[in-house]
Chains A and B, each alone.
Chain A
Amino acid sequence: MGERGTSHAVTVEVNGEKVSRIVAARQLLVHFLRDTLGLTGTHIGCDTGNCGACSVIVNGKLVKSCMILAPQVDGATIETVEGLADGDSLSPLQESFHEHHALQCGYCTPGMLMSATYLLRQNPDPTDEEIRRGIRGNICRCTGYVNIVKAIRAASREQASGGRPVPAAAGEEV
């Protein structure tokens, strides 16, 4: 039987780096990332799982890290916004967001980029409607989504025309 308790040992691979910590059972994954690991790129915009600012990819699946407890991800591979760029080289979506002014305050941007990354992995050539469905769970208050849709579309076209692809998922889907 698994250990029962108010704190748990958790080992995860975050952006390619293996980390182990003792976490409180009540700690949400987003607080684990931000407060325990100091990965503050993942943001908090609501407290009901509606805004998507905390979106990360766990075992290849896009999730909201405020809707998962830290002990639940033991053994998982986690991708956050901090892992999107390859060193100083921005990912094609990051580039595209910049070029198309798809961010203003930048607060939703990390979650939005994770959703867009997941979307293009699942569907490399989405229609505008599919893009909008893909980011339905990410609220942006600044852009009216206009340039975000444009940036994702442009990144997908860039990829289709032989540009750099969206990085492949880390970890297996489970």
Chain B
Amino acid sequence: MTITSTPVTGEATKTWSGRSMPRKEDGRLVQGQGSFVDDGGMHGQGYAWFVRSPYAHARIVSIDCEPALAMEGVYAVLTGDEAKAMCQAPFFAIAPPPGSLMQEWPLAVDKVRYQGDAVAVVLADSRETARDAAERVVVEYEPLTPVTDTVAAADPAAPLLYDEAGTNVAWHGLFDYGDVDWALENADHVVKLDRLHFHRFTSSPLECNGAVVDFDRGTGVVSVLSNYQMPMFAAMVVGPTIGVPMNKFNFVSKDIGGAFGIKIGFYPQIAALALLSKKAGRPAKWTEFRTEHMLTAGHGNERTFLDVEVPVMADGTILGLKVRAFDDAGAYLHYEPLGAVIWSQVVPGCYKLKHVRVDYTEVVTNKCPVVPNRGYSRMQHLWLVERIVDVVAHELGLDPVEVRKRNYVQPEDYPYETPNGCIYDSGDLPRSLDIALELAHVAEWRERQRELGTGTGRRIGIGIGSTLDSGTNNFGQSRIINPDLPFSGNGEAAFAKLDLFGEINVNLGTTPQGQGHETTAAQVAADILGVTPEDVTVTTGFNQANNSYVGFSGTYASQFAVSGLGAVMGAAQKLRHQIVKLAAFALQAEEDEIELEGGSARVRGDEERAIPFIGLSNMVYTNNAGLPASLLDECDLNARYVYVPPFEVPDTVAKTGNLTLTYASQVHVCVVEVDEETGEVKVVEYAAVDDCGNRINPLVVEGQVHGATGLGIAASLYESLDYDESGQLQEPSFYEYHVGTAMDIPDVACGDIESPSPFTPNGAKGMGEGGGAPLHAVCAALQDALGAGAPVVSESHNHWARVYELLHRDPGAPRGVEVVTRTAEPGAGVESL
């Protein structure tokens, strides 16, 4: 175990992988020389501004663009109807009916379904003129009753967002593993929770969305310079809608100012911009500003859990859980209902729950569409599980540490198969917890907690958050939602080449947004090619012209260390193989005598017989007369490799299968101080222990842990997106949405364990999303501060007023929890568990 590392600069090992190396990306970024989307542009571009609905739900009666078009400098205005007429089909639907009947077009058609829904888009010669003109587009609306409550939306009597679907339920499924009825009948206790609610928030990257799109009418090529984080997904969704084949797209991204999943959601804007460009005959540049982002760019999933029942044995063994889950997709199904299956990557959380039944309903409401948000869909379920474990401990008077340790998947259990067939690869949760408790000085805080007691004005609370960061998902799980979908497996591509003068270049299929891919890819390639990371140039960003992509390319779902670096390793090894072959020919040696070091190939043990990489490049590119054709055939010094993780198609009826390749784990411990008079909460100590297998660059890994922790703490105490009954967002900018600042977020003590994954090429596990651990830990700390007999902390977001209510709730009022204890002799009939 190491606790908080500092950069290693010396020659600690012969290899570069595994070292804490400051990043190659930093030089340009600290000098303001990064290339973010708004920094760039295309010749002749106009500036786009979307006309957006002030209503959450309304019929579009008419749109008058004339006043805008009459303005000097306005190139074009595109309305929803016009856009639809230019399209071949609505956007591809992941859901089967009725979800597939909830159609979406590039711009709203007939109806608007959330505040901020785009009805038209203006193109003008300046940003200012575009906005001025957008205000002159006159839209007449007929307001309709908005649907804002997630659970009520599913009521057949609720107003409909999509008349043609006949329901607001986009998808419904029963996930039933083990025998939860049996467990509930035979358990010593059944802990029942009325309602738990995971709130809506966004990790809101600091750079908003943006794109410059050119629809070249001469070639039919659609060029997209954007900060989209999953470009080929956008191409696959947008292409069939606007009638553009994949080989006529050219998606490019450079530096991206954070994404966290949110930047998977703006394909409708890209489609609209492409059509606008086509109409206007010039590139369309759109730079989203924060208020537009908060209203429309996508929020994290809000989920309500009802009728939770938890069978527990007297010794604290938790047998499973039963729950009805209602997930709120917002107005359009941008990535949903994929979240309706993605949570099931972590059905039992960190625990050996065997009997689980989740009745899952995905609804649409008149709110901003949800999109993947750091910890996507698993975080919500992991929070539920962690709340359950915590409440069980409190209600049964058991030690929250012991209950967790008793129920954790144990180190000797790996590889551990969950009730739905997922394979947890490796880990040591009990030890992670011990380290976290020590790092957070829990023993001292317990002492302090006892001293303070309650009623003294301040209370201490200590909470644990155990979570999983499942990475490299199997897209076959989408078939559990819709068996007709043509998706399964996963993959990522990389290119490695020796350039004309012997330079090493690596192209990725990923779209890094701060994860340091240029550095870690260089570390990995350097080890294979016998050079230093400085010698490896990793192309910044994504460029479709590099041909270094597959359908699932991008940066999302905690997978780079596995799929991205798996591809880099494969490509570098292929290139190495070619280099060795050429060198063996040039040096008249056997291939197994060749070693690569310092940018040269040489014969082992013979200093004299060596050839620098430039010499090999010369042989292939510029001086190849007389080289055997067989050698030229095999050695073009351009190596493309696609890493494909080993997956099977899941069983779509039983809803089982291995849904993701790796499971990094995190155990966080949080200590809070609560002001009894006001409900104010201050995080006074925080520790995070991360286990993501072999770490390629511990400095980068730790940075991800810090970041996920910061966002989670901010979400638990400060950040929430709330709609009023008329469907108006109450926090539409950073003025209202209090983003956690350096004064709000505490320092984090980090510890780590490295449990290598047996399933990946490098023993690494994807990480970075963090599984929402701080939300779990802060809630648990609040529960601890509330003490015995207190109400259940039932919300994932706990601002001061909510904490105050929990502290001061009438002792006779419902606590949101009930424990039913079986009267028969405890433990009877559970041997077969």
Q: Are A47 and B290 in contact (CB under 8 A)?
A: yes
Q: What's the nearest-Cβ distance from chain A to residue B64, in Å?
A: 26
Q: Are B290 and A109 in contact (CB under 8 A)?
A: no
CB<8 Å pairs between A and B, sample of 11: A47-B291, A98-B22, A103-B29, A104-B513, A106-B26, A106-B255, A137-B741, A139-B739, A141-B710, A142-B206, A145-B741
Residues on the B chain within 8 Å of A47, using CB = 289-291, 733
B205 to chain A: closest residue by CB: A141
Q: What's the nearest-Cβ distance from chain A to residue B52, in Å?
A: 14
Q: Are A46 and B745 in contact (CB under 8 A)?
A: no
Interface centre among B32, B207, B699, B700 (most CB of A within 10 A): B32
Interface status of A11 (Cβ within 8 A of chain B):
no
Q: Are B207 and A45 in contact (CB under 8 A)?
A: yes
Determine the distance from Cα of A40 to Cα of B31 in the docked complex, in whole angstroms. Answer: 10
Determine the distance from Cα of A133 to Cα of B743 in the docked complex, in whole angstroms. Answer: 6
Q: Are B206 and A139 in contact (CB under 8 A)?
A: yes
Residues on the B chain within 8 Å of A48, using CB = 290-291, 733-735
Interface status of A85 (Cβ within 8 A of chain B):
yes
Q: What's the nearest-Cβ distance from chain B to residue A42, in Å?
A: 7
Q: Are B22 and A45 in contact (CB under 8 A)?
A: no
Q: Are B128 and A106 in contact (CB under 8 A)?
A: no
Q: Are A50 and B739 in contact (CB under 8 A)?
A: yes
Q: What's the nearest-Cβ distance from chain B to residue A89, in Å?
A: 11
User: Other CB < 8 Å A-B pairs besides A45-B208, A107-B36, 20 of them?
Assistant: A24-B128, A34-B39, A45-B257, A51-B739, A82-B32, A84-B31, A98-B26, A98-B27, A101-B699, A103-B29, A104-B707, A105-B256, A106-B255, A106-B514, A131-B742, A136-B741, A144-B708, A146-B747, A148-B742, A149-B742
Determine the distance from Cα of A154 to Cα of B703 in the docked complex, in whole angstroms. Answer: 17
Interface status of B706 (Cβ within 8 A of chain A):
yes
In the complex, which residues 642-691 of chain B have their Cβ closer than 8 Å to any Cβ of chain A?
A: none
Interface status of A147 (Cβ within 8 A of chain B):
yes
Determine the distance from Cα of A47 to Cα of B739 in the docked complex, in whole angstroms. Answer: 14
Q: Are B734 and A141 in contact (CB under 8 A)?
A: no
Task: Convert B20-55 into 0s and 1s, putting 1 for each residue whose CB lies closer than 8 angstroms to a CB of A.
Answer: 001101111111111010110000000000000000
Task: Convert B694-731 into 0s and 1s, putting 1 for each residue whose CB lies closer than 8 angstroms to a CB of A.
Answer: 00000110111011111101000000000000000000
Instruction: Tell me whether A144 and B32 are in contact in the complex, defined as CB-CB below 8 angstroms, given that A98-B23, A107-B206 are known contacts.
Output: no
Q: Are A107 and B207 in contact (CB under 8 A)?
A: yes
Instruction: Tell me whether A146 and B257 are in contact in the complex, defined as CB-CB below 8 angstroms, given that A84-B31, A105-B513, A108-B206 are known contacts.
Output: no
Residues on the A chain within 8 Å of B514, using CB = 103-106, 142
Residues on the A chain within 8 Å of B23, using CB = 98, 101
Q: Are A101 and B290 in contact (CB under 8 A)?
A: no
Instruction: Tell me whether A43 and B26 are in contact in the complex, defined as CB-CB below 8 angstroms, given that A82-B31, A146-B747 are known contacts.
Output: no
Residues on the A chain within 8 Å of B734, using CB = 45-46, 48, 50-51, 139
Interface status of A65 (Cβ within 8 A of chain B):
no
Instruction: Tell me whether A143 and B31 are in contact in the complex, defined as CB-CB below 8 angstroms, given that A105-B513, A107-B258 are known contacts.
Output: no
Closest 3 CB pairs of A and B: A41-B32, A144-B710, A107-B257
Q: Are A104 and B703 in contact (CB under 8 A)?
A: yes
Q: Interface majority SS on B: helix, strand, loop or mixed? A: loop
Q: Are A94 and B204 in contact (CB under 8 A)?
A: no
Q: What's the nearest-Cβ distance from chain B to residue A154, in Å?
A: 10
Residues on the A chain within 8 Å of B256, using CB = 105
Q: How large is the interface on B (under 10, 10 to 19, 20 to 34, 35 or more residues)?
A: 35 or more
Interface status of A58 (Cβ within 8 A of chain B):
no
Choose from A41, A46, A50, A132 the contact partner of B31 (Cβ within 8 Å): A41
Interface status of B156 (Cβ within 8 A of chain A):
no
In the complex, which residues 19-65 of chain A have their Cβ closer than 8 Å to any Cβ of chain B?
A: 24, 26, 31, 34-35, 39-51, 53
Choose from A98, A105, A136 the contact partner of B257 (Cβ within 8 Å): A105
Interface status of B383 (Cβ within 8 A of chain A):
no
Interface status of A78 (Cβ within 8 A of chain B):
no
B703 to chain A: closest residue by CB: A101
Determine the distance from Cα of A35 to Cα of B703 in the docked complex, in whole angstroms. Answer: 32
Residues on the B chain within 8 Å of A34, using CB = 38-39
Residues on the A chain within 8 Å of B145, using CB = none
Interface centre among A99, A109, A146, A149 (most CB of B within 10 A): A146
Q: Are A105 and B703 in contact (CB under 8 A)?
A: no
Q: Are B258 and A105 in contact (CB under 8 A)?
A: yes
Q: What's the nearest-Cβ distance from chain B to residue A113, in Å?
A: 7
Q: What's the nearest-Cβ distance from chain B to residue A123, in Å?
A: 15
Task: Convert B490-518 into 0s and 1s, putting 1 for each residue whose CB lies closer than 8 angstroms to a CB of A.
Answer: 00000000000000000000000111100
Interface status of B343 (Cβ within 8 A of chain A):
no
Q: Are B742 and A45 in contact (CB under 8 A)?
A: no
Choose from B32, B207, B713 the contact partner of A105 (Cβ within 8 Å): B207
Task: Convert A121-138 into 0s and 1s, putting 1 for each residue whose CB lies closer than 8 angstroms to a CB of B.
Answer: 000000010011101111
Interface status of A110 (Cβ within 8 A of chain B):
yes
Q: What's the nearest-Cβ distance from chain B to residue A51, in Å?
A: 6
Residues on the B chain within 8 Å of A137, using CB = 741
Q: Are A99 and B31 in contact (CB under 8 A)?
A: no
Q: What's the nearest-Cβ distance from chain B to residue A87, in Å?
A: 11
Residues on the A chain within 8 Å of B747, using CB = 128, 146, 149
Interface status of A81 (Cβ within 8 A of chain B):
yes
Choose from B27, B36, B707, B733 the contact partner of A144 (Cβ within 8 Å): B707
A45 to chain B: closest residue by CB: B206
Interface status of A140 (Cβ within 8 A of chain B):
yes
A50 to chain B: closest residue by CB: B734
Q: Are B516 and A104 in contact (CB under 8 A)?
A: yes
Q: Are A146 and B31 in contact (CB under 8 A)?
A: no
Interface status of B260 (Cβ within 8 A of chain A):
yes
A113 to chain B: closest residue by CB: B30
A133 to chain B: closest residue by CB: B743
Interface status of A160 (Cβ within 8 A of chain B):
no
Interface status of B243 (Cβ within 8 A of chain A):
no
A80 to chain B: closest residue by CB: B32
Q: What's the nearest-Cβ distance from chain B to residue A148, in Å?
A: 7
Instruction: Tell me whether A110 and B258 are in contact in the complex, defined as CB-CB below 8 angstroms, given that A45-B207, A141-B711 are known contacts.
Output: no
Interface centre among A34, A84, A144 (most CB of B within 10 A): A144
Instruction: Tell me whether A109 and B30 are in contact in the complex, defined as CB-CB below 8 angstroms, given that A144-B709, A144-B710 are known contacts.
Output: yes
Interface status of A97 (Cβ within 8 A of chain B):
yes
Interface status of A90 (Cβ within 8 A of chain B):
yes
Interface status of B97 (Cβ within 8 A of chain A):
no
Interface centre among B33, B208, B255, B713 (most CB of A within 10 A): B33
Interface status of A8 (Cβ within 8 A of chain B):
no
Interface centre among A103, A131, A145, A148 (most CB of B within 10 A): A145
Q: Are A141 and B703 in contact (CB under 8 A)?
A: no
Choose from B128, B206, B289 the contact partner of A140 (Cβ within 8 Å): B206
Residues on the A chain within 8 Å of B257, using CB = 43, 45, 105-107
Determine the distance from Cα of A6 to Cα of B27 in the docked complex, in whole angstroms. Answer: 40
A135 to chain B: closest residue by CB: B742
Determine the distance from Cα of A41 to Cα of B703 in the docked complex, in whole angstroms. Answer: 23
Residues on the B chain within 8 Å of A46, using CB = 289-290, 733-734
Q: Are B290 and A45 in contact (CB under 8 A)?
A: yes
Determine the distance from Cα of A24 to Cα of B25 in the docked complex, in whole angstroms. Answer: 36
Residues on the B chain within 8 Å of A106, using CB = 25-26, 28-30, 34, 255, 257, 514
Interface status of B7 (Cβ within 8 A of chain A):
yes
Determine the distance from Cα of A141 to Cα of B745 in the docked complex, in whole angstroms. Answer: 11
Q: Are A99 and B516 in contact (CB under 8 A)?
A: no
Interface status of B432 (Cβ within 8 A of chain A):
no
Instruction: Tell me whether A81 and B7 are in contact in the complex, defined as CB-CB below 8 angstroms, given that A105-B257, A146-B748 are known contacts.
Output: no
Residues on the B chain within 8 Å of A136, using CB = 741-743
Residues on the A chain within 8 Å of B704, using CB = 104
B697 to chain A: closest residue by CB: A101
Q: Are A26 and B700 in contact (CB under 8 A)?
A: no
Residues on the A chain within 8 Å of B34, using CB = 41, 106-107
Residues on the A chain within 8 Å of B700, using CB = 101
Residues on the B chain within 8 Å of A148, using CB = 742
Residues on the B chain within 8 Å of A43, using CB = 36, 206-207, 257
Residues on the A chain within 8 Å of B739, using CB = 50-51, 139, 141
Q: Are B289 and A44 in contact (CB under 8 A)?
A: yes
Residues on the B chain within 8 Å of A103, using CB = 26, 29-30, 514
Residues on the A chain within 8 Å of B713, using CB = 144
